[in-house]
Amino acid sequence: MNPDKMKVLQLGKFYPIRGGVEKVAFDLMSGLSERHIPCDMLCAAEEGGDRTIRLNEYARLICCRTWVKACATMISPSMIFTLRKICGEYDIIHVHHPDPMACLALFLSGYKGKVVLHWHSDIQKQKILLKLYRPLQQWLLRRADKIVGTSPVYLAESPCLQEVQEKTVCLPIGVVPMVPVPEAVEAIRKRYPGKKIVFSLGRLVAYKGFCFLVAAARYLSEDYVVLIGGTGALKEELQQEIEDLNLQEKVKLLGRVSDEDLPAYYGACDVFCMSSVQKTEAFGIVQIEAMSCGKPVVATRIPQSGVSWVNQEGVSGLNVEPEKAQELSEAIEKVTGDAETYRRFSEGARKRYRDLFTKERMIERCLIIYLEL
């Protein structure tokens, strides 16, 4: 395909950006448009009506009114009508899964061009929805000209992808590096003088496994403090656990950490911990954000997930079995145990980020995939 004549549509999820899937779609749109390749994004709007936001000369964000959110899916009939109207403008539609609304819109659009299916994860929680959606999902797998995944592990081991392996290709997620402001970093460290800071970040929901990170704090010495950023349904439950275990001085729930403050927390921490316990956690963008600051990572070996591939064992950090609080604490202590060990993991984390997980590398690799269609 000729890059000078290529026009691409990123299809799926919602705006404003809340999670990893929509962040990847948005970053692909912005990255390709910065290279003067026309690339728009069509998605559901979390609030408000239909609208188009012009990002630059080569990119538009097309938001469609949402009727209701059901089963973790934005119900937006406007996506169907809008895609039918505009799909003929595009040479490639890059659809992001899981998003039943986007898949239905593509199915009903009559689009005849090339389709790239970005398989971020299997549908894990919505079992009833999956039964209804499976025929459409199978159509999408057949319809796709290329299926991209964020890690070789997920592509190889997902039960949904076993019959389409010949169409799969790995496209690791890439992000711009976090750039902590030294003064902001120092301000955080002054709040916890003499402490080694363990930082974690994510929605306070069951699959993130924060209850095991809280429990791990029992085994850490008084030299450590655990900071957990994020909001969610389990906030009160986690706070109660912290109090029941008398860990108020060792574990702090930070609430939502703003985009402005986030780099400072990465810069201030000594180690980043990702305690997720279910395959719903397919990659873990927060890991590579931490790595971009040279921070070692302690994560979990979730079966069929790419999390422990992202955090290369013995290089960028250590991985332990899910739901093992004491193993989390032992890995944290091992990574931070002495200056030479810490330096080795820190350098390994930074190098792995630069080699695999920069936004520039993701855009370049994605463009190659497009050109090979």
pLDDT tens-digit map of 179-234: 999 999 999 999 999 999 999 999 999 999 999 999 999 999 999 999 999 999 99
pLDDT at position 71 over 60: no
Q: Which of 99, 118, 93 is nearest to 24 (CA)?
A: 118
> Does 157 lie in the same domain as 52?
yes
Which are the contacts of 366, defined by CB distance < 8 A and separation ≥ 6? 28, 31, 32, 148, 171
Work out the number of other CB atoms within 10 angstroms of the CB of residue 102: 29
Work out the percent of the chain whose per-residue pLDDT is above 90: 85
Query: Which pLDDT score, from 0 to 100, does residue 201 have?
Result: 98
* pLDDT tens-place string over residues 245-291: 999 999 999 999 999 999 999 999 999 999 999 999 999 999 999 99
- What single-letter amino acid sits at 311? N
Strand 271-273 relative to strand 297-300: parallel, antiparallel, unpaired?
A: parallel
Is 315 a domain residue? yes
Strand 8-15 relative to strand 39-45: parallel, antiparallel, unpaired?
A: parallel
Is 204 a domain residue? yes
Query: Which pLDDT score, from 0 to 100, does residue 126 have?
Result: 62
Is 206 a domain residue? yes
Interatomic CA distance for residues 196 and 2, integer angstroms = 52
Query: Which pLDDT score, from 0 to 100, does residue 72 have?
Result: 59
Lowest mean pLDDT among 1-5, 36-40, 262-266, 296-300: 1-5
> Does 208 lie in the same domain as 129?
no
Q: Which of 207, 229, 217 is nearest to 325 (CA)?
A: 217
Host domain of residue 92: 8-174+358-371
Dihedral, 269, 275, 279, 284 alpha carbons, nearest 10: 0
Interatomic CA distance for residues 7 and 268, integer angstroms = 42
Mean pLDDT of the chain: 94
pLDDT band at 130 (very low <50, low <70, confident <90, very high): low
Query: Which pLDDT score, from 0 to 100, does residue 74 have?
Result: 67
Average pLDDT over residues 311-318: 98
Exposure b/e, 2-31, CB count within 10 A at least 16 = b: eeeebebbbbbbbbebeebbbebbbbbbbb
Is 3 a domain residue? no
Tally of structural domains, the chain: 2
> Does 262 lie in the same domain as 132?
no
- What single-letter amino acid sits at 290? A
> Does 191 lie in the same domain as 144?
no
Q: Which residues pair with 319 in a beta bridge?
A: 299
> Does 155 lie in the same domain as 94?
yes
Confirm if 301 and 335 have CB atoms less than 8 A apart. Answer: no
> Does 150 lie in the same domain as 47?
yes
Interatomic CA distance for residues 102 and 14, integer angstroms = 10
pLDDT at position 332 over 90: yes
Which tokens sit at 204? 């306070």
Which are the contacts of 139, defined by CB distance < 8 A and separation ≥ 6? 103, 107
Average pLDDT over residues 56-70: 86
Is 255 a domain residue? yes
> Does 298 lie in the same domain as 214?
yes
> Does 218 lie in the same domain as 164?
no
> Does 170 lie in the same domain as 50?
yes
Interatomic CA distance for residues 7 and 28, integer angstroms = 13
> Does 130 lie in the same domain as 200?
no
Confirm if 119 and 154 have CB atoms less than 8 A apart. Answer: yes
Confirm if 332 and 220 have CB atoms less than 8 A apart. Answer: yes
Q: Which of 38, 118, 50 is nearest to 85 (CA)?
A: 50
pLDDT band at 1 (very low <50, low <70, confident <90, very high): confident
Query: Which pLDDT score, from 0 to 100, does residue 15 have?
Result: 75
> Does 344 lie in the same domain as 280?
yes
* pLDDT tens-place string over residues 236-252: 999 999 999 999 999 99
Query: Which pLDDT score, from 0 to 100, does residue 131 have?
Result: 77
> Does 103 lie in the same domain as 29?
yes
The domain that contains 230 carries what CATH number?
A: 3.40.50.2000
Lowest mean pLDDT among 122-126, 153-157, 294-298: 122-126
Place of tokens 């190098």: 351
Confirm if 227 and 265 have CB atoms less than 8 A apart. Answer: yes
Q: Which residues pair with 207 in a beta bridge?
A: none
Query: Which pLDDT score, from 0 to 100, does residue 5 have?
Result: 77
Query: Which pLDDT score, from 0 to 100, does residue 123 have?
Result: 81
Looking at per-residue pLDDT, the higher value among 125 and 328 belongs to: 328
Is 47 a domain residue? yes
Query: Which pLDDT score, from 0 to 100, does residue 47 have?
Result: 77
Average pLDDT over residues 148-153: 96
pLDDT at position 56 over 60: yes
CA atoms within 13 A on the CB side of 213: 35
